Structure 1
Amino acid sequence: MSHKPEKLFGTSGIRGTIKSKMTPSLCSKIGLTAASFFGEDSTILLARDHRPHATVVYHSLISGLLAGGVNILDCGIAPTPAVLFALKKLKYDGAIVVTGSHTPSEIVGILIFKEDTSELSKTESKEFEDILYEERYEIMQWNKTGYIEPIDIFDIYAESVLSLVNLQKVEGRKVAVDPGNGASSVILREILELANIRVVAINDTLDPHFPHRDPFPRPDNLKDLSTITKGFQADIGVGVDGDGDRAIFADENGNILWGDITGSLFIIDALKRKKTKNVVVTINTSAITEWAAKKFGGTVIYSGVGPPAIAESMKKNNAYFGIEESGKYLWSDAIYYGDAALATLRLLEILDIEGKPLSKLISEFPKFYMEKVAISCPDKLKDIVLVRAFEEWQERHKPAKVLPSDGIKFMYKDSSWVLFRPSGTEPVFRVFAESMDKERTKELIKESVDLVKELIKRHSTE
């Protein structure tokens, strides 16, 4: 190649549209690169979501993988965590999932997983990019190409998840589920029913257009889940993203909770059971997680955003549990990726152990007020906006602590903080602010958002 393209990997995997970044030509080369990365005669699991263009990327990958000498077990359409539980059980060399995950319908992605179910680290992603850009891959001779076979992984998925839960503590419960017409449609409901849980489901059919809500579950688009949870008199409700890893919960009154709230319950549970001393928390997660960890003798270790950063930090620090505020919960005894089915079952376990409804458990937490704003920002401006935001915010304020990661977090002695973070998956720049004082949060978010907008405008004209 005559020049090196832009960075391939984002926060989690490779994402784009088939008209630009994720072209069939590039995806077949990614398949060849993956064959070189995993090694000739490796065997991997391959799956996709139900978006029409995922099929295009899928077959392009297959072409490159087979030509590079890799054998494929074709899982078809499947939730990402299902593939990873199968990978763990069957002990193959890795897995690749083609999915847009929580992003809008037009986006498609490629997630690459190692044998231990974690995604490629930053170092490994750089190595992968170097192989691709330098064309250090090989098309095998006709008699050394790989083979492809279909595989049904549902039973492995269901049995693996259910084996991690005390089923006597969850049976008889009532759960409302909203898979959002994503890849976990039907499957999530069936796993819960296998645990003798009564389930009511909405948006429970595969639909690549996501007609009822977009695939990123959050309080503002889970109003139907809120209504049905309360109306069904369910113990909890759960809203899921496009590939089945994110889980945003509703309490029995229909109140939708961000992942750091329920994640704090998981932290407390892990510490009470003496499963861990260290817990990994992403840089954009509420300080409520630090309160929960400290109260029960744990230590918070901050990581970058996304499963690759969380998993790497968990392994490095011997942490049993990791969390991202978007509803991703990782347990080291399961897979190094989120799974809505396992999170739902483990939350029900906690309700049984504590003997209290979810609303009561979280009412015992101190109150933090967080606001999050996503601002449209071209990818080419993200780096300069982050640098200038850091410089100008530091001039205006004197934070108690600056925490750099895949963004810049300013932390203050009153437990308030501001985070400037360019998205690694979308053309947006994210700003977060949190405080125990609602008005201070509003002040911080307004000033930080105004600063980012002004910087984008300033540098767009250069």
Structure 2
Amino acid sequence: MNARAGQQAQESDLIDVPALIAAYYALVPDVTNPDQKVAFGTSGHRGSSLDSAFNETHILAITQAIVEYRASQGITGPLFIGKDTHALSRPAETTALEVLEANGVRALVDEFDDFVPTPALSHAIISYNRAGHDDQADGIVITPSHNPPRDGGFKYNPPHGGPADSDATSWIANRANELIANENRDVKAAEPSGVETYDYRGEYVADLATIIDFDAIKKSGIRIGADPLGGASVHYWQLIADTYGIDLTVVNPVVDPAWGFMTLDWDGKIRMDPSSPSAMASVLSHKDDFDILTGNDADADRHGIVTPDGGLMNPNHFLAVAIQYLYTHRPQWSEDAAIGKTLVSSTMIDRVAESLGRRLWEVPVGFKWFVSGLIDGSVAFGGEESAGASFLRRDGTAWTTDKDGIILALLASEIVAVTGKTPSQLYAELTEKFGAPVYERVDAVATKAQKAALGKITGAAITATELAGEPILARLSEAPGNGAAVGGVKVVTDNAWFAARPSGTEDVYKIYAESFRGTEHLRQVQAEAKLIVDAALAG
């Protein structure tokens, strides 16, 4: 923990916004340098213009590659495009529109030149494609999510509305790097003229009644606080309050591309992570002013839930409560609809699923794995340990196929209104029934070669038979739900587990671990996990 974690950002912590934008246009990347080439992670291409990792050159090439990809897939409908509040998002949107215009792609920007949350764009794609048009729409979300203010991000969402799969992103990234290597000679760009618009905010907010019980919230009279953390949902919350007549206060409506109002995250950086107590410190100061208080990150695909009795909830805790509530308060949902979780999410979810008699669908890290299940209704809820989730409408049809921090925040209010208990109180009830797990993620140093080896490791490479005094029951390198490669390994016992995965951005590997036998046992699991993984990599 940085000594200033949780403290107000100072002038010296802030980015120079004009310099950041100037670098976007001035610096030209060298794609022979791995740190400067186009690379799509689980949520698109991210980087900073100051590092020659997110520049006009990149966006010209990526957009041209998307144009060519969608043509190869027969996608001829409109392309929905939206940006968040990061400083690099607007220039990237302008660049993308130049390429889309020159290639004859019908692009739809926000009607009010507003910011567009990731879930609002996913909702727009799904709504268009559900309406029975002869063509299909797709979209681009310009956001690095909760990343620091110096970063930019660029993500492609195909016609299913969710994050593109690795086949699509690999093709797009490879083609973009080819274009850059050829000095973007094959990129078409022209000044946008007469760009069409779409009311993302109005359409999304008007449709929220199909997924959230606002009548119950309004009748209860509960006091709700919503902090957009300076992100894209900033103008959505007031419209939600006005549309549904609920007692909701926008705690901080300020938009500042330097995020000078934020408190510093655990490592001393400004990061809009609504699941981090340090980043949410200023929000937490208001916890006693409301019956429920929530936060979102910069593109509103993540949620943070604050209760007066429990403070900021661990994301795993709220996921478990949300699942318990939804599957007992959505009578129109199919009895066969599964509960989706990533394999590094809490085993508390497994125990809740078993108690509900529901099938658990455990997949690798990345929300893209939930897309097909949410589309066809075979999965009613999909959630990640990093505070990202979405679920079906009340009638059992798809809402979004990307993470939606707004509906998870609103669900917290519905839960309080309907049950008369906070999500923290409901989680305490779950621990009385199923035990109280202790969960943590730590990092271990690894070389690039070790990270590459870990990404390809198989369960058979784990030779240990015990973990922290318990017999090992499973060594997983493929997810139980869909058989997809984990990109690492998960080791399971009766009362604990750990998972190890290489970081995509740093020379470390991540160890996720959980124990139902307390903190001391968790420490033992973590220590042995590193030894087990190191032995497997050495062997």
Give the TM-score category using the shorter length.
0.7 to 0.9
Identity fraction in percent: 21
From 133, 141, 161, the equivalent of 1:97 is 141
2:240 is aligned with 1:208: no
Q: 1:349 to 1:97 in 2, by over 3 A?
A: same
Aligned to 1:267: 323
Q: Aligned residue for 1:296?
A: 356
Match of 2:268 in 1: none
Q: After superposing the two structures, state which structure 1 stretch, 194-203 or 131-140, moved more.
A: 131-140
Question: Over the residues paired in the alignment, what is the CA RMSD in angstroms?
Answer: 3.4
- Provide the C-alpha distance between the structure 2 equivalents of 1:340 and 1:291, rounded to a whole number of angstroms: 24
Amino acid at match of 1:423: S
2:383 to 317, 323, 327: 323
> Could you give the per-residue CA deviations for residues 262-286 of structure 1, whole angstroms, max 9, x where no partner exists?
1112222333235243111011100
Query: What letter is aligned with 1:179?
Result: P
Q: CA offsets, 1:178-197, max 9 Å, x none?
A: 22122222423432453322
Q: Which of 86, 100, 108 is the aligned partner of 2:124?
A: 86
Query: What CA distance in whole angstroms lies between the structure 2 residues aligned with 1:339 and 1:105?
Result: 21
Residue 103 of structure 1 deviates from its aligned partner by 1.4
Distance in 2 of aligned mates of 1:152 and 1:128: 28
Contact 2:341 2:360 in 1 (8 A): yes
Residue 159 of structure 1, CA deviation: 0.6
SS in 1 for 2:162: coil
Match of 1:198 among 244, 247, 250: 247
Unaligned runs of 5+ in 2: 1-29, 130-135, 264-270, 393-397, 478-484
Asked if 1:34 corresponds to 2:66, the answer is yes
Match of 2:517 among 437, 455, 458: 437
TM-score normalized by the length of structure 2: 0.75
| Residue of 227, 230, 249 corresponding to 2:305 | 249
Partner Cα separation in structure 2 for residue 137 and residue 331 of structure 1: 43
Q: How many residue pairs were aligned?
A: 454
Judging changes above 3 Å, is the alpha-carbon distance between structure 1 residues 187 and 452 closer, same or farther for their aligned structure 2 residues? Answer: farther
Write out aligned runs for 1:48-447 (5 A). 48-75=83-110, 76=113, 77-91=115-129, 93-132=137-176, 148-171=195-218, 172-211=221-260, 212-213=262-263, 214-221=271-278, 222-230=280-288, 232=289, 234-272=290-328, 273=330, 275-276=333-334, 277-312=337-372, 314=374, 318-332=378-392, 333-366=398-431, 367-374=436-443, 382-386=451-455, 394-395=463-464, 397=466, 399-404=472-477, 405-424=485-504, 429-438=509-518, 439-447=520-528
CA distance in 2, matches of 1:189, 1:380: 50
Offset of 1:155 from its aligned partner?
0.8
Secondary structure of 1:220's partner?
coil
Deviation of 1:160 (Å): 1.8
Distance 2:514 2:45 in 1: 30
Q: Which moved more, 1:266-275 or 1:329-338?
A: 266-275
* 1:418 positional shift: 0.7
Distance 1:385 1:286 in 2: 22
* Shift, 1:386, TM fit: 4.9
Cα pair distance change 1:43/1:11, threshold 3 Å = same
The question of whether the paired residues in 2 share the 8 Å contact of 1:229 and 1:254 is answered with: no
Cα displacement string for residues 301-335 of structure 1 (whole angstroms, at most 9, x for unaligned residues): 11122221232455588211100111111114310
AA at the equivalent of 1:419: A
CA–CA separation in structure 1 for the residues paired with 2:275 and 2:532: 25
Q: TM-score, normalised on structure 1?
A: 0.86
**Aligned-pair distance for 1:167?**
1.6
Residues 108 and 185 from structure 1, CA distance in 2 versus in 1: closer, same or farther, beyond 3 angstroms? Answer: same
